[in-house]
Amino acid sequence: MNQTTHKSYALPIAMMFLLFFIISFVTGLQNPMGVIVKDQFSLNNYQSQLGNMANFLAYFFMGIPSGKLLRRIGYKKTALFALVMGFTGVLVMYLGGKTASFWIYLGGAFISGFTMCTLNTVVNPMLTVLGSKERANQRLNFGGACNSFGATIVPILGGVLMGNAAQKTISDADPLLFVAMGIFALVFVVLLFVQIPEPHIESKERLKIKDKYSALSFRHFRLGVIAIFIYVGTEVGIGSIANLYLTNSVEHGGLGIDPSLAGSIVGIYYLLMLVGRLLGGLLGGVVTSRQMLASVSGLGLLFVLIGIYAPDYMVKMPVVTSNLHFELADVHIGVAFLMLCGICISVMWPCTFNLATEGLGKYIAEGSGFFMTMVVGGGVLPMVQGAIADSFGYLDSYWLIVACMAYLLYYALIGSHNVNDNIPVE
C-alpha cells in the first residue's frame, strides 16, 4: 500500500521540485534584467531596481490573501491559479521586450510576483502532504536545493545571453522567459490530471471565527516580521547591486566587467547559498536557530565591512565566459567578500521563521501569511540601495546592508525571545 502511494505521488512531487526551481528562477530574472533595462532604457540605479520592486510588491498585496485562498479552495486549485498567472506574467514580460516598453515589462514583473507569492504558500505544505510524513523533511530539503540551483544559474545564463552586446535589450533574455513559460505549462498540465490530498481546506463557518489574540500579539513575532523584511531585502540587494557595480563603466563608478563574467561572479553568491543550506541542514540538529542566526549575521556584518574597506587587491574566482568556458578571473577582493555573504544569507530565512513563530501555536498559519507579505522587502530595500548608489557610490550603498545585518544580529540575541508566553495558543 505504501509503495502504491509513493508511486502515485512521484509525479506531483517532481512537479513541486520544478516549482521550487522556477520560483527562484523567475525571481532571480530581475537580477540580470536590472542590468538590461538600465542599458536599454537609460535608467539610473534606483530605476533599474523597479523590476525587483514590482515583483516583490506583489507579495505585500498577496501574502495574506494567498493563505486564505489556500484554506478556501485547497492546494490543487490554488496551484493551478498561480501557474496560469505565472505563465501570463512571464508572457507579459516577453511582450515588454517585443514592444520595447519598460512599463509593460514592469507589469509582467508585478504579475509574476503574484505568482511567486502564491506558489511559495503552496509548495512547502504540499510537499509535506505528498508522500510519507517520515520523508517530508527530506523532500523539503531537496526542494530547497532546487530553489538554490535556480537562483544560481539565472545570473550566469543571463550574463551569457547578454554577452558583449553593445546595446542590451529585454529580448536578449527571451530563452530564459521561454524556459519559465514551458515549466509553468508543464506543471499545470500534470497537476490538472492528478489527485492531491486536501487536508487543510476549512469551512466558511470556521473561517469566520474571531480570536481575541493574533500572531501580532507577540512581540518577538512583530520584530521577526521586520527581520524577514530586512533579510529578503539584504539577500536581493547584495546580488543585484553587485551586478550593477560589476557591469557599470569605470567612469560611472563601476568596474566595467563583461556581463557574462559578472553574471558568473554573482552566480557564486547564490551557489554559496546552496552550500550554506546544505551545511545548515547538517548542523541544524546540534546548533539552535538563535545560535545560527547570531553567528551568520555577525559573520555577514564582518564580510560586508571588509567588502567596503578592502584594499585594491585582486583574487582569482572561477567564472563562466560568454563562450561557456570555465576560467579563473581576477576579481576585486572586496567583491569576493560580498559574494561570501551568500553562505551567511543562506540559513537566515529558516532561522528567523523558527524564532519568530516559536510559541505561537495555533497562530503559526496566520503568521506565515504575514511573513509572505514582508517578502516585499526584496523590492523595497534594493531600490533604496540603488538610490544610495546613485548619490554616494556602489560601495557606500552597502552601508544599508551593514545596518540590516546589525538588526538581524540584534534580533537573534535579544529581539527573538518570547515575552508574551501568557497568551493561550492551544
Q: Which residue has the higher pLDDT, 56 or 298?
A: 298
- Report whether pLDDT(1) > 70: no
* CA angle, 316 then 280 then 22, to 5°: 75
Q: Which residue has the higher pLDDT, 189 or 325?
A: 189
Question: What b/e readout covers 155-177, taking b as 16+ CB neighbours within 10 angstroms?
Answer: bbbbbbbbeeeeebbbebbeebb
- Report whether pLDDT(321) > 70: no
pLDDT digits (tens, 9 = 90+) for 60-82: 888 778 777 777 787 788 889 98
* CA angle, 288 then 293 then 296, to 5°: 120
Bridge partners of 328? Answer: 318
Residue 230's Cβ-count burial label (10 Å; 0-12, 13-18, 19+) is buried
- What CA–CA distances, in Å, run from 54 to 26, 112, 311, 318? 13, 9, 36, 32
* Highest-scoring range by mean pLDDT, 84-88, 215-219, 269-273: 84-88
Which stretches within 346-398 are classed as H helix?
A: 348-357, 364-373, 377-392, 394-397
Q: How many CB atoms lie within 10 A of CB 69?
A: 18
What pLDDT, on the 0 to 100 scale, is given for residue 193?
Answer: 84
| pTM of the full structure | 0.78
What pLDDT, on the 0 to 100 scale, is given for residue 304?
Answer: 96
Give the separation between CA 11 and CA 131, rounded to whole angstroms.
11
Three-class secondary structure of residue 33 per DSSP:
helix
pLDDT digits (tens, 9 = 90+) for 326-354: 778 788 899 999 999 999 998 888 888 88
Strands 326-332 and 314-320: antiparallel
* CA angle, 54 then 59 then 64, to 5°: 155
Residue 253, Ramachandran bin (φ over 0: left; ψ between -120 and 50: alpha; else beta): left
Q: Which domains does the chain have, with CATH numbers?
A: 1-205 (1.20.1250.20), 210-421 (1.20.1250.20)
Q: What is the mean pLDDT of residues 263-289?
A: 82
